[in-house]
Each structure stands twice: as structure tokens, then as C-alpha cells.
Amino acid sequence: MSARSRPADVSGALDDTDRALINVLQGDFPLSRHPFADVGARLGLEEADVLARLRRLLDARVLTRFGPMFQIERIGGAFCLAAMRIPEERFGQVAERVNEFAEVAHNYRRDHALNMWFVLATERPEGVADCARRIEAATGLPVFLFPKEREYFVEMKLEA
């Protein structure tokens, strides 16, 4: 396991303004011509300060992304949760192989016999099964697919 992948709580390094900015930016980002200036106005910050803080938070990986979040299903694509059971001694090597697939949008190690859980994002629904087969071929291990049958609730906001 590389140092980069180990979860780190760097929340102590965030100041109150960073937290306020993260919270505001998890809401609706303006579709105006100068949206960062508009966000800054709500927080009493200059546009340049908003941009500099945002760049720093992304560089420090406090934020993993900034932009639209897509439901690719709505334009013909698919997301699918998948899991694998990986022998401990092969975990690092298999994680590398799996992460090489562009379709793997995110991937977590979890404490369970099924110890790797990832999300596949593909342009076509049939891409999910195809990608799972290619991962199985690349790793020699079975991939369990857990497509969502129903969504009851999604709220992707966490107060910083």
C-alpha cells in the first residue's frame, strides 16, 4: 500500500474559510459568467482568493474533483458497483491492474472477505459486463457485479 493511498485526516489543516468554501461549493455552483466571484461574494472573499483556495484544496486532494457530476445513465451509459475477493498477498498488484481500467471511477479497500469495491462507469450498459470480463481476464479473479436496482436516496454532501 503506497503512502498516497492511505487515508489521511488533514482536516486540522483546514481553516474556517476553507470549510465554508467547501460547504458552499457542495451546493449549486452558479451558471453565471463569473461564478467564482459570485461564490466569493457570498463568503466575503475576492474571486482570486476563491480560485487560489480551490486550487490548493484540489492539489492537496482535500477535494477530489470540482465540476459537474454526471448521471451517465441518463445519456445511455451505466454505473455499476463491483466487488472482488483478493488474496492479501496479491492485493497491491491486483489493485494496480484494476485501477488501470479507465472505467474504474473509484475504488475502495474494505474490511471484508470481498475486500475491494469499485464503481465501473461505461458509455453503454453492455460495457459493464464487458469491462468486468476484461478485469477477470487481467487478474484471474472473479468480479461480482452489483448493479443498482433501485435508488432510494443520494445526497453527496458532507459538511466540512
Does position 63 interact with other proteins (CB under 8 A)? The reply is yes
Does position 3 interact with other proteins (CB under 8 A)? The reply is no
Does position 1 interact with other proteins (CB under 8 A)? The reply is yes
Number of residues assigned to the chain? 160
When the beta carbons of 75 and 137 are compared against other proteins, the nearer one is 75
Does position 134 interact with other proteins (CB under 8 A)? The reply is no
> What is the spatial distance between Cα 116 and Cα 95, in angstroms, rounded to a whole number?
8
> What is the spatial distance between Cα 38 and Cα 16, in angstroms, rounded to a whole number?
19
Helix (H, G, I), strand (E, B) or coil at 127: helix
Does position 137 interact with other proteins (CB under 8 A)? The reply is no
Does position 118 interact with other proteins (CB under 8 A)? The reply is yes
H/E stretch holding 122 reads strand 116-122
Q: What is the footprint of other proteins within residues 12-31 (CB under 8 A)?
A: 14, 19, 22, 25-29, 31
